[in-house]
Amino acid sequence: MLAGINVKLEDLITVITQTESHRQRLLQEAAANWHSWVIKVQKMKAIYHILNMCNIDVTQQCVIAEIWFPVADTGRIKRALEQGMELSGSSMVPILTAVQSKTSPPTFNRTNKFTAGFQNIVDAYGVGSYREINPAPYTIITFPFLFAVMFGDCGHGIIMLLAALWMVLNERRLLSQKTNNEIWNTFFHGRYLILLMGIFSIYTGLIYNDCFSKSFNIFGSSWSVRPMFRNGTWNAHVMETNPYLQLDPAIPGVYSGNPYPFGIDPIWNLASNKLTFLNSYKMKMSVILGIVQMVFGVVLSLFNHVYFGRTLNIVLQFIPEMIFILCLFGYLVFMVIFKWCHFDVHMSWHAPSILIHFINMFLFNYDDPSNAPLYRRQQEVQSFFVIMALISVPWMLLIKPFILRANHQKSLLQASMIQEDATEDIEGDNSSPSMSTGQRASAGGHGAQDDHEEEGG
């Protein structure tokens, strides 16, 4: 009995071993073909997904697909359909016909590997209507440049440039890897964007004379401390008693009169008011560039209105928008540039505050003795700009909705009148056959009676 049990156990072990080896071979074969199977399944799913969006012909021999496609790609689509017919061995010749449609076509912006990243940024804020001007080409310059105005460090810009250049030079090898890492794909798809951001950051970093928060003294500073000692303003006692000393550009020789050839003078890196000066400079430049970009965007909308013939939008949208932005923010840019050009070193102590002027402009407060006016007739000019800006607000927000509402009611009235006329025509058509049928019946009755009388006679 024990020997029989041992034989059965050996048989069971043999069966289990053979089963495990067979399963292992099957799994190895499946693993070897797994990648090709996944590709085939994905292709089949894609084919059935496209077929589900098509309609079957009445003859059950072909499918009908309605698609939007660029007119420039008509030849390529025809060649692709003919090539598909030849490869499949089908005898059904593909037919491509244009169908008239009242719906607005979808917006298609053709991109390449360089412009795709910029187009994605624009589309993230909203896709324009069909045939509207595409701002993505302008974004290729404005987006990385405005980033560099904020970033402004040539050292970090070089690091960004080298990283983006490495991705650009090795893009074919990196594309073939097909990784699913979302963070890596985000950086890789924006490699050209990062490349331009690095180039512009190097440029603005040189303008700010900033490399890893350090300045370059390539051309030599235009400021000198020697005239301060020669003039007697500074001496040993002043040096010992004052922890901070301030250069006076009004003293001849302190400032040479020749600006630093490129960028910010490196002496500002040693100044205690470095952040105050650089932040004021960067803030004002950012305001100027930002307002210029906003005005440029509003001007682009004018091309859309002209192209589509929207006179109402030009009069009630573009013009008040330009009046509002120029009377307020355009005037702010004017004050910044005017202050830079008008007040020199001898008048800088009496230069008024632009921020206080801009606030008092809305308050109509011109009696502030601590803030002198920038120019003559400033009160009249600023009052006129504020009044025009206030007028532009209802001009822009109230008139157009009432006109659109009136046009909508007019269209509804016309549609109801057309429907009433159609209803009357249908009722008239229904009543005319009934009347003619009754006449024919009565006439037929008389005729029959006459015939009968004739026969009786």
What does DSSP assign to residue 329? I
Residue where one domain finishes, among candidates 231, 262, 293: 262
User: For 369-425, what is the HEC assignment?
Assistant: CCCCCCCCCHHHHHHHHHHHHHHHHHHHHCHHHHHHHHHHHHHHHHHHHHHHHHHHH
Looking at the structure, tell me whether residues 136 and 59 fall in a common domain: no
- Is 46 part of a structural domain of the chain? yes
- Is 152 part of a structural domain of the chain? yes
CA 186 to chain centre: 17
Per-residue pLDDT at 196: 96
Q: Residue 136 in contact with residue 109, Cβ under 8 Å?
A: yes
In tens, the pLDDT along 363-372 reads 888 888 888 8
Looking at the structure, tell me whether residues 63 and 42 fall in a common domain: no
Looking at the structure, tell me whether residues 46 and 61 fall in a common domain: no
Looking at the structure, tell me whether residues 64 and 156 fall in a common domain: no
- Is 381 part of a structural domain of the chain? yes
Intervals of the chain under pLDDT 50: 433-457
What does DSSP assign to residue 107? P
Looking at the structure, tell me whether residues 285 and 319 fall in a common domain: yes
Per-residue pLDDT at 84: 87
Looking at the structure, tell me whether residues 279 and 395 fall in a common domain: yes
Whole-number Å distance between alpha carbons of 149 and 155: 14
- Is 431 part of a structural domain of the chain? no
Q: For the chain, how many structural domains are there in total? A: 4
Is the four-CA dihedral 48, 51, 52, 57 of positive or negative sign?
A: negative
Looking at the structure, tell me whether residues 367 and 388 fall in a common domain: yes
Whole-number Å distance between alpha carbons of 199 and 210: 14
158-170 in b/e form (b: 16+ CB < 10 A) is: bebbeebeebbee
Whole-number Å distance between alpha carbons of 3 and 9: 10
223 SS3 class: strand
Q: Which domain holds residue 20?
A: 1-53
Whole-number Å distance between alpha carbons of 286 and 333: 11
Looking at the structure, tell me whether residues 20 and 85 fall in a common domain: no
Looking at the structure, tell me whether residues 131 and 76 fall in a common domain: no
- Is 361 part of a structural domain of the chain? yes
Closest Cα partner for 116 from 181, 197, 174, 191? Answer: 191
Q: Residue 259 in contact with residue 222, Cβ under 8 Å?
A: yes
Looking at the structure, tell me whether residues 94 and 120 fall in a common domain: no
- Is 188 part of a structural domain of the chain? yes
- Is 456 part of a structural domain of the chain? no
Looking at the structure, tell me whether residues 114 and 163 fall in a common domain: yes
Per-residue pLDDT at 446: 42
Looking at the structure, tell me whether residues 157 and 194 fall in a common domain: yes
Whole-number Å distance between alpha carbons of 440 and 454: 21
- Kindly state the helix (H) or strand (E) to which residue 4 belongs, with its residue range: helix 2-52
Per-residue pLDDT at 447: 41
- Is 229 part of a structural domain of the chain? no
